Amino acid sequence: MRYQIRLLDQNLPGFTREIALALWHATDGIVRKPLGNALYRDLYRAARGVFEDHVRAFRYCNAARVCERSIPRYETGLLPQHEEFPGEHVHVYLLEPEAGPELVVRELITKAVRVVARRLPGVPLNGLTWALRLAAEKALDRRVFPALRCGEDLLCQSNEEYDPWDLRDPINGIRHAS
């Protein structure tokens, strides 16, 4: 089974920045030593590496009605506006079939702990893993949904993959809903 990451008025680089900042704040709550921007940049690179390994983006993803069937009914804001191109309001990214949210959280924590230990040698890091887990799970909460019917529609067969990190591509632009 696949999972989809649904972002409302946000693209994948913006979501990665949000996760890196959450991990940085979780570390700041544990470590008494002042943290610098270099740690944030390393956490961003680590989170980006996890997403580059497991997330794929497709041009027409989320344009079919079957894509919405896995979204809980109380998440009406994540439903696309079908009269417009859906990529303008809701960005959808697919996790690889073997990569569920648990694996992504585990890899985010593993890489973040390595980054923090490398940046802050000799500093006690008691409780860091737990704090990072809470931050990562909170960031992914209500954004990652199972995609039970992914690939079943005829439109899915005409999908073409694109680079979600290329901010020059118009599909990665953010247009705020009015």
- Give tens-digit pLDDT for 16-43: 999 999 999 999 989 888 888 999 999 9
Is residue 67 assigned to a domain?
yes
User: For position 14, what pLDDT does the model report?
Assistant: 93
Q: Tell the residue number behind the tokens 């959808």, with chain if given.
A: 92
For residues 84 and 90, the model is more confident at 90
User: For position 55, what pLDDT does the model report?
Assistant: 93
How far, in Å, CA of 89 to CA of 171, rounded?
A: 10
Q: Give residue 155's domain range.
A: 2-166
Per DSSP, 33 falls in state S
Is residue 174 assigned to a domain?
no
Is residue 176 assigned to a domain?
no
How far, in Å, CA of 113 to CA of 16, rounded?
A: 17
For residues 64 and 142, the model is more confident at 142
Is residue 173 assigned to a domain?
no
| Beta bridge pairs of residue 93 | 5
User: For position 168, what pLDDT does the model report?
Assistant: 85
Burial class from Cβ neighbours inside 10 Å (0-12, 13-18, 19+) for residue 37 reads: exposed
Per DSSP, 138 falls in state H
Reference 112, options 49, 25, 31, 23; nearest CA is 23
Is residue 177 assigned to a domain?
no
The share of the chain scoring above pLDDT 90, in percent, equals: 42
Is residue 104 assigned to a domain?
yes
Looking at the structure of the chain, the number of domains it has is 1
Reported as a pLDDT band with limits 50, 70 and 90, residue 175 is: low
Is residue 152 assigned to a domain?
yes
Question: Whole-model pTM?
Answer: 0.86
Average pLDDT over residues 88-93: 74
Is residue 97 assigned to a domain?
yes
| 3-class DSSP assignment, residue 104 | helix
